[in-house]
Amino acid sequence: MSRGRKKRILIAKPGLDGHDRGVKVVARALRNAGMEVIYAGLHQTPLQIVSAAIDEDVDAIGLSILSGAHNTIFPKIMSFLKDRGASDILVFGGGTIPKKDLENLKSLGIGEIFTTGTDTRAIIDYLNTTLER
Amino acid sequence: MSRLFDKNAIEDIDREKDQWQKEIYQPAEGEEKVFETLSGIPVEPLYTPAHTAGMDYLNDLGFPGQEPYVRGVYPTMYRGRTWTLRQLAGFGPAEETNKRYKFLLKEGATGINGVFDYPTLRGFDSTDPFARADAGRGGVAIDTIEDMRILFEGIPIDKISTSLVTCQPICNISVQSMYFASAEMRNVPLDKLTGTSQNDFLMETVITVAPELLPPRFSFKLSCDAIEYCTKHVPRWNPISFAGYNYRESGCSAAQEVAFVIANATACSEELILRGLEVDSFAPRLSFFLSAHNDFFEEIAKYRAARRIWFHIMKERFGAKDPRSLRLRFHVQTAGVALTAQQPLNNISRAAYHALSAVLGGAQSVHIDGYDEALCTPTELSSLTALRTNQILQLETRATNTIDPLGGSYFVETLTNKVEEETLRLLDEIDGMGGIVKAAATGWIHKEISNSAYEYQQAIESGKMPIVGVNCYQMEEEELPVDLFQVPETLQIQEQKLKRIKNERNGSHVREALDAVARCCEQDGNLMEVIVESVKSRVTQGEISQTLKGSYGTWEPPLF
């Protein structure tokens, strides 16, 4: 991404799980760290999320999943991004995701998964470092 | 007048205490430690009779089972009957959850506490495009009355009390109707049923929102329809459980938790009275659901304050006369948000402290969280350990020997007064906005909760709030000592069931049933009266929800 432009991050919570305390805290923390956050709210379908990310020309998509549906939802997002030729958008995520699933999710091209108990500063540092490359 | 202390004695104590604080009590040099409760109430180094000197024993505390019920809602409390061991359970298809219920009952649970999956809670069938990835997750999947029949097969629902965690009114209006209708089909009369449903409109419009939400006032209407229905037909059922627990989980402080449940209960009472019901016909069955969080004494104070506030509102604002209307009865769940994914076995100790505060605060029933809940749905082992923790508390600690053992503690009484004060301030603010339904519709509550949640996270990240294993005493490369629960295959099973049911059922009966629901919306009738009949023709929960949304429209909640 070009230097000087604010990082644009789409934050979304796909699926029907309504536990949105974490995703709202992360959205606010990124905003306070100077990023432009588009909070797509809850319950977007994978296709809606990908369309919104492309329309909003974001640098990254952050997804929160606490229901255990990550192994279904993340692959869908990645394949829709590929179909739309938007694989350059960084995808990261967080939530109640067991360690044993991390390797598989990362092999799909997901940049990072932040599990329960993560400090928001770790997410900010990760985005600052990764998106500056 | 029954002042706690003699005026001269108080003056002496106050003088001596000042001297003690100046000359004897020496805080560590240079250390600017802040002492406050989890919700930010300042805490002094020592409490003495002077702090409670303004209290009047008979008016402000009284006796258990008597006004103002601060010391307990029942005369004998746990000496008569201990709290119900009500462990939450639900996952996958009904067949699997039925087995878990039977397991918990066999191991000594004394009530059922059934939780539903995300699609069921939000009013969708398992096969809905919004729902498919979440079928069977977070609870048990219920699409039609057949699932409800399977869920309680072989369980004596006329003898055991059942809590249905139907959080959202859009879920409750169908799922509770299915429970009642299937009881009728088992020849269990409705007046024999005991239990509780959650049915809280704030859950639908603020706490865990869904796509295509009903506008707050219609969600509130559904909630009141269920209360009215139960008042008339299911007299031993608690038709609502104001879900302060969940408000707290999403970020509220202790006082916000109490203020929001009481404002909600006040609004329901006003609505039911407008519908022509006597306050004493429904108020005895309003029940509450509160959290037990990390601040041990603040939680105890919270339960005691909530009882006093509810008593005054019921008596003075609504003129209730039946003592049962004046008692705030509550179920407690230990705080899930306080559990950590790191070093998960530590959660056994955390939840035990949480539960002890609930019991010292006079809870009517207690669920203790599984140690693995920050990681997955509880396994059989973690559920069993939680149940045993509850039994140890009940049988070994002797915390149950006397009633309200912390009553009269200078600190606990002062804290009770402080929580009460802050709660009353919030209740005034909500009243000024025109009540809780408006406060939800304008997004005020969303914002309050969101702000508190952010502050909490900041407190953890700054290290101001130590959490063992998270921001102190962390362990590198920790090996997880627990097995993770795998949700059994659900979507395929529900898909097959729905396909078969849709083939078997009588199409014209289904259309008539759904037309009756739509007509009832138009005529502003009581929807539960209609839906209890509708579900018998095996209409699905999703079909009923879609009909309601067709009539009432949908609402986009404010985002903060």
Single-letter residue type at B289: F
Contact A43 B374 (CB under 8 A): no
Of all residues in chain A, the one with the smallest CA distance to B454 is A25
Q: How sure is the predictor about A3, in pLDDT bands with cuts at 50, 70 and 90?
A: low
The CATH architecture to which B57-461 belongs is: Alpha-Beta Barrel (3.20)
φ, ψ for residue B291, nearest 5 deg = -95, 160
Non-local (6+) Cβ contacts of B445 within 8 A are B202, B206, B260, B436, B439
Contact B450 A43 (CB under 8 A): no
Contact B208 A20 (CB under 8 A): yes
Chain A residues touching residue B251 (CB < 8 angstroms): 21
Identify which of A67, A98, A99 has the shortest CB distance to residue B134: A67
A93 belongs to a structural domain = yes
Instruction: List average pLDDT for each run of 10 residues in chain B, which is 560 residues long.
Output: 83 93 80 86 95 94 97 95 86 95 90 93 94 92 98 95 94 98 96 96 90 93 98 97 96 96 98 98 97 98 98 98 97 96 96 98 95 88 94 96 97 98 98 96 94 93 94 85 84 97 96 98 97 97 98 88
Non-local (6+) Cβ contacts of A108 within 8 A are A74, A75, A78
Contact B122 A16 (CB under 8 A): yes
Contact B138 A73 (CB under 8 A): no
Identify which of A24, A116, A121 has the shortest CB distance to residue B341: A116
Please tell me the predicted confidence (pLDDT) of residue A132: 84
Contact A69 B134 (CB under 8 A): yes
What pTM value is reported for the model? 0.93
Q: Which domain holds residue A27?
A: 8-132
* Average of per-residue pLDDT values in chain A: 91
Q: How many domains does chain A have?
A: 1
A14 belongs to a structural domain = yes
Identify which of B121, B207, B454 has the shortest CB distance to residue A25: B454
C-alpha B454/C-alpha A25 separation (Å) is 5
Residue of A111, B519, B309, A66 whose CA lies nearest to B527: B519
Domain containing residue A43: CATH number: 3.40.50.280
A95 belongs to a structural domain = yes
Tell me the domain boundaries of chain B.
Answer: 57-461
Please tell me the predicted confidence (pLDDT) of residue A43: 62
Percent of chain A residues past pLDDT 90, beyond the cut? 70
Contact B461 A67 (CB under 8 A): no
Non-local (6+) Cβ contacts of B506 within 8 A are B537
Of all residues in chain A, the one with the smallest CA distance to B138 is A67
Helix (H) / strand (E) containing B169: helix B169-185
Identify which of B137, B342, B453 has the shortest CB distance to residue A21: B453
Please tell me the predicted confidence (pLDDT) of residue B481: 73
Residue B289 · residue B331 · CB < 8 Å: yes
Please tell me the predicted confidence (pLDDT) of residue B482: 78
